[in-house]
Amino acid sequence: MARRPAPRSPWRRRLSITIKVLIALAVLGLGALLTAVYIARAQLPSFEELKSSPNGQMIRVHAADGTVLVSIGPSYGEWLPFDRIPRIMRQATIAVEDKRFYSHLGVDPIGVARSVKVRFDRGRWVQGGSTITQQLARNVFLNNQKKFGRKFREWILALAMERKFSKEQVLELYLNKVYYGGGAYGIDAASRKFFGHGANRLTLSEAAIIAGLVKAPSNYSPTADAQAAVDRAQVVLRVMAENEVISASEAAEASPQDVKLAPEPKQNSVRYFTDWALPQLELLIDETEKPLEVWTTLDLNMQRAADAAVRANAPGGAQGALVALDRDGAVRAMVGGKDYVSSIYNRATQAQRQPGSAFKLFVYLAALEAGMTPESTVVDEPVTIDGWSPRNSSRRYSGQVTLRTAFAYSLNTVAAKLGQQVGFTTVADMARRFGITTNVNTHPSMVLGTSDVRLIDMTRAFASVANKGVAVTPYGITKVSANNEVIYQNEVDRSRVLVAPYVAAQMTDLLQTAVNTGTGRAAQIGRPVAGKTGTTSSSKDGWFLGFSSGITTGVWMGRDDAKAIGGLAGGAAPANAFRQFMVKAVAKRPIEQFETEVTLPEWQLEPDEESYFGEPDNSVFVDESGDPVDVEGAPLPADSYGQGIERPSSRRERPVQDGYYEEGPSQPGPQPQPQQRLDQDWIDRVTGREQPGEPSRDPRRDRRYQPAPEDERPYQ
């Protein structure tokens, strides 16, 4: 009789069922995995498409001489095919990132197992176990989120890529696309950024440095932490020796610490210019993907000179800005502040400040266009317009003067009368015609610069005068190319005439006078210069704008909080900065004479050597408060005033060479006070106010001293 088999125990039946279920699930999972891999493989771009797809748009900005000013966005070097990639670079990368690269299928089970073990040992994820193929898939298609869903998609893509591309193609894509820090993508970009040469010339030490960057580009970047980069390179060399890629002696002979790094481009004041110019690309071109080469107008020598001039002359606690335009509007230099690193606010293009008497440019342009000439006369006298009574800072009035004299000495009452005569709306229209883009009020005080303006707009206006009345539009980009194809080329518009050439010539005449004998004397540079100063109430803003030899430069100085600055005046620090900059800016340019020769006020036509002989007669010294003192500094009786001696301004001034006077900053603490000489006899004579019956004075003695320029501050 046959014997029946003993029945299996329940737990064995359950185990058998479990095993079958697991096998079924594994088969289903494998099937699903294979299906997912082949679906992903079918959807992958081709090798050529992956080569050409960017990780973001790179913009490289060049100065006028071709020097790279700054690279913005991702930087790409030359694409190196597999056989042109240095073998030592391939070996270093594989050794430190994926030593079983040539044996796995895209995902390394050993690496994954090691990563899991470390996770349990340390309680957190430290190693990802990612292969080179996985890193490539993550860089091209995914992101760096540490989530299992993203990791699973990464595995699928890595397996799919290994099915579609060869190992050589995967490594070629990786080495040309992976991020190495500092904005550099690919080994060629990294080599050029850090070492200044292409990747085809990499040495063992340089290859070790670059290979070590992938783990943490921001931590190991040579430009961020040179020692960390060297230490990481030593790890790469040791791993290469352990894997027998190089010998122990080769690893010992390598010296990453001796690798010479390429200098980082200076990006201080240059960034004011690039921050202003680059946003204009959106209006000039439509290309948003291809790497761009942007060629600009910036002259690096002028930029360095501008930076130095602003830093050297801006008063303590104050800021400064400078814009220099070529005759066609090309921006040759732009400084938006004393230090870009500490403040990116561009005071040359963004700040809106009152221009003071620099705004008189538009008042006199309107008067000249209305038919007046530099020889036309106006009476400098007290005036009230709609309840507003401007006055000259000296509290003096010169009687009948020419426009040339009034402009040279920046007489406020004359500017007010001219504005009333031609119409304040006409003056505002003239300002807008010449490029002032901010709101211009039409109150009577507007003639003294009470409307806020931008430095670049004011510089543009002066440049248009220098351009014989033809509009000048500032521009910073000359051309743009993408993949060596020019997609934009600037064309200068010279067709818009703002005023007749003779009006511009007459205005240039006045501007020359202001520099030669008026408020802008500090701006003289040994060749023809035309310009105008500007100082606002309480010395909150100082301006100088002028042109010579085809370059027009505007300078502004003041505090960002608009607080007063003792001694700040357009004819002082701003004019000095203008002079310091322009001496270098036009040094290699030929001297250009203006079409209209400078004509000085009558009492200035004598030879210079006759102007300063002898001692002053009937002069008075004053202390810091403007009170009279004798030669020894002792106070004079209060009744000294009214005896031919007029109370001078309380403003401190100091004498400088050639008999001129300029404002000086107040100094804390007790110090010897500078003295001011005022020759009332001379003032009376040149303004025609000598009293009848008075004996005439020796003209040689009367004409020795040129008057200190009238202040330009608006009074309301």
Identify which of 706, 690, 531 has the alpha carbon closest to the alpha carbon of residue 605: 706
Q: pLDDT tens-digit profile of 633-690?
A: 455 444 433 333 333 333 333 333 333 333 333 333 333 333 333 344 433 443 444 4
Q: For position 621, what pLDDT does the model report?
A: 41
Tell me the fold of 303-587: Beta-lactamase (3.40.710)
Q: Quick check: 336 pLDDT over 60?
A: yes
Tell me the fold of 79-258: Penicillin binding protein transpeptidase fold (1.10.3810)
Query: Within 10 A of 675 (CB to CB), how many other CB atoms are there?
Result: 17
Contacts (Cβ under 8 Å, ≥6 apart) of 286: none
Give whichever of 132-136, 222-226, 443-447 has the largest mean pLDDT: 443-447
Q: Quick check: 8 pLDDT over 70?
A: no
Q: State the Rg of the chain over Cα.
A: 38
Q: How far apart are CA 530 and CA 513, in angstroms?
A: 7
Confidence of residue 533 (pLDDT cuts 50, 70, 90): very high
Q: For position 381, what pLDDT does the model report?
A: 94
Q: Let me know if 559 is exposed, middle or buried by CB neighbors in 10 A (0-12, 13-18, 19+).
A: middle
Whole-structure pTM value? 0.66
Q: In one letter, which amino acid is 358?
A: A
Q: How far apart are CA 492 and CA 294, in angstroms?
A: 17
**Tokens for 653?**
């001034």
Q: For position 290, what pLDDT does the model report?
A: 77
Q: For position 393, what pLDDT does the model report?
A: 74
- Report the pLDDT averaged over residues 563-576: 94
What does the domain layout of the chain look like in residue ranges?
79-258, 303-587
**Tokens for 336?**
């938006």
Taking all residues of the chain, what is their mean pLDDT, rounded to a whole number?
Answer: 80
CB 680 within 8 Å of CB 380: no
